[in-house]
């Protein structure tokens, strides 16, 4: 393949042998016209479903207007008001193109405001060298210390480095931990007065309108968004008060204010509120998770379901997933490998029924093809591995593990 960066963790990696020619709603279609149910949705960026008619019309209207990038601020101001209105306090908003750019900008703003250099981190914040993973206690080349969602590691960093920390950035994940667990991580930072950044790229607007952490009464100093706010169009942002957003005034590029993405985002946020997508996913997505767990249990396969209706994961050993994924694809069900599944707003009613029927057939053929897997159990290590792949951290200390064992495990994954 000529594309140099196509060997990484790309959406639809499991479906590389399929030529996808179009998407509509919860489905994508191959060159033969076969419909496949999409649970990847471009890493969750397509939150409303493919080719949402309202978003498409908003984009086409803007494209046909011929308004060039940065020629008008009305779309940008309107979207900024929408995003700020969904957060507590008096917020300002700075726009970027990718979640990676937004998280780097938020960290840079914290450094400029505090005059400090060190950043503590939990979770994945993008492909940038800034977020290169290193073993606990060892800052990377960009002076970032990773805590891997473990409260004990955060406490160690705060005890030793609070006076030199510009900020702590936490990516909340709810597939393997509760909102209360995430809130506790933020509270530990707030107790010592450290600046906090909520990296809402994964779950912002997916679990509720605005930041997911507000569900547990967390108020961060800055928030980053990307996935889902524009239904797949390239846009991200940092939100925070004037003190933290002022340093970002000159963080602009040629396409910072490219108009179609702003039109898509405003239409997307309106649709999310109008359709009450978060409540719908909590019901329909949860039905899929529950029924899928029953199907798996009936066949005595070593797979577990983790997460909520809005984002969930098939938890199993890597060698089991290598059997599951192609059988699911053969039945027209696209699953994201070693990561969360992100259903869209179109994943409801008959679509959920269709997905369950396809999964049922996939599990049946899987059990028949690999009878050696039947009766095998999901181990604690399988669960830990699945969680680490999904959240780049640990959901607390596994039973019987010391903190040193957790550090050894994390180090071995790097």
Among 256, 275, 294, identify where a domain stops. Answer: 275
Domain of 21: which CATH number? 3.90.1150.10
pLDDT at position 184 is 98
> Which pLDDT score is estimated for 47?
97
Tokens of 364: 């049946």
SS3 content of the chain, % helix, strand, coil (to 5): 45, 15, 40
Residue 388 inside a domain? The answer is no
Q: Write down the pTM of the prediction.
A: 0.96
Are 157 and 34 part of one and the same domain? no
Could you tell me if residue 57 is inside a domain?
Answer: no
Is residue 148 a part of any domain in this protein? yes
Q: Please report whether residue 205 resides in a domain.
A: yes
* 26/172 same-domain check: no
Number of domains in the chain: 2
Contact assessment for residue 111 and residue 117, using Cβ atoms and an 8 Å cutoff? yes
Residue 237's DSSP bridge partners are 95, 225
Shared-domain flag, residues 139 and 220? yes
pLDDT at site 9: 65
Same domain, residue pair 268 and 142:
yes
**Token pair for 70:** 């940065």
Is 386 a member of any domain? Answer: no
Say yes or no: 224 and 75 in one domain: yes
Give the CA distances from residue 58 to residues 171, 228, 241, 341, in Å, rounded to whole numbers and listed in that order: 31, 16, 29, 27
* Strand duo 27-30 + 35-38: pairing: antiparallel
**Does residue 261 sit in the same domain as residue 341?**
no
Are both 263 and 289 inside the same structural domain?
A: no
Residues 132 and 271 in one domain: yes
pLDDT at 252: 87
116 lies in the same domain as 166: yes
> Do residues 176 and 304 make contact, with C-beta atoms less than 8 angstroms apart?
no
| C-alpha–C-alpha distance, residues 234 and 350, integer Å | 30
Write out the two tokens for 32. Answer: 């033969």
3-state DSSP assignment of residue 268: helix
| CATH for 111 | 3.40.640.10
Residue 154 structural domain: 67-275
Same domain, 23 and 110: no
Check whether residue 251 and residue 372 sit in a common domain: no
Helices 318-330 and 350-369, interaxial angle, to 10°?
120
In a domain, 165, yes or no: yes
Q: Which of 318, 303, 319, 323 lies closest to 388, judged by CA?
A: 318
Is there a single domain that holds both residue 156 and residue 134?
yes
Say if 209 falls within a structural domain.
yes
- The tokens for 146 are 């990773």
- pLDDT value of residue 120: 98
Token pair of 392 as six digits: 């780049």
Task: Specify if 118 maps to a domain.
Answer: yes
Task: Give every residue of the chain whose pLDDT is below 70, as ranges.
Answer: 1, 8-10
Cα 6 → chain centroid = 20
Based on its alpha-carbon atoms, the radius of gyration of the chain, rounded to whole angstroms, reads 21
């Amino acid at each position: 393949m000529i594309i140099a960066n196509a060997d990484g963790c790309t959406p639809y990696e499991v479906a590389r042998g399929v030529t996808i020619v179009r998407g509509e709603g919860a489905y994508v279609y191959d060159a033969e016209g076969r419909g496949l149910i999409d649970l990847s949705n471009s890493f969750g960026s397509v939150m409303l479903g493919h080719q949402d008619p309202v978003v498409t019309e908003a984009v086409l209207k803007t494209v046909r207007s011929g308004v060039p990038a940065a020629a008008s601020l009305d779309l940008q101001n309107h979207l900024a008001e929408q995003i700020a209105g969904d957060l507590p306090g008096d917020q300002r908003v700075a726009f970027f193109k990718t979640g990676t750019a937004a998280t780097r900008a938020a960290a840079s703003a914290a450094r400029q405001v505090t005059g400090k250099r060190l950043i503590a981190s939990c979770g994945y914040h993008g492909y940038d060298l800034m977020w290169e993973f290193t073993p606990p206690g060892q800052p990377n080349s960009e002076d970032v210390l990773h805590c891997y969602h473990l409260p004990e590691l955060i406490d160690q960093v705060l005890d030793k480095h609070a006076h030199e920390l510009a900020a702590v950035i936490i990516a909340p994940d709810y597939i393997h931990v509760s909102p209360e667990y995430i809130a506790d991580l933020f509270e530990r930072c707030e107790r010592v007065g450290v600046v906090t950044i909520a990296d809402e790229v994964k779950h912002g607007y997916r679990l509720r309108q605005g930041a997911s952490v507000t569900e547990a009464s967390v108020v961060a100093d800055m928030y980053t968004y990307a996935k889902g706010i524009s239904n797949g169009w390239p846009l991200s942002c940092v939100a925070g008060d004037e003190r933290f957003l002022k340093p970002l005034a000159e963080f602009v590029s040629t396409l910072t204010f490219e108009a179609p993405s702003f039109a898509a985002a405003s239409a997307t946020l309106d649709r999310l509120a109008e359709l009450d997508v978060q409540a719908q996913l909590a019901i329909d997505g949860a039905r899929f998770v529950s029924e899928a767990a029953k199907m798996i249990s009936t066949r005595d396969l070593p797979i577990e379901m983790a997460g909520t209706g809005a984002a969930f994961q098939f938890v199993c050993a890597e060698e089991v997933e290598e059997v599951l994924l192609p059988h699911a694809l053969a039945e027209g069900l696209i699953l994201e490998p070693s990561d969360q599944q992100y259903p869209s707003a179109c994943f409801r009613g008959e679509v959920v029924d269709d997905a369950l029927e396809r999964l049922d057939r996939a599990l049946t053929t899987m059990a028949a093809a690999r009878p050696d897997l039947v009766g095998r159990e999901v181990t604690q290590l399988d669960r830990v591995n699945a969680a680490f792949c999904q959240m780049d951290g640990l959901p607390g200390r596994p039973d019987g593990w010391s903190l040193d064992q957790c550090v050894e495990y994390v180090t071995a994954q790097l």
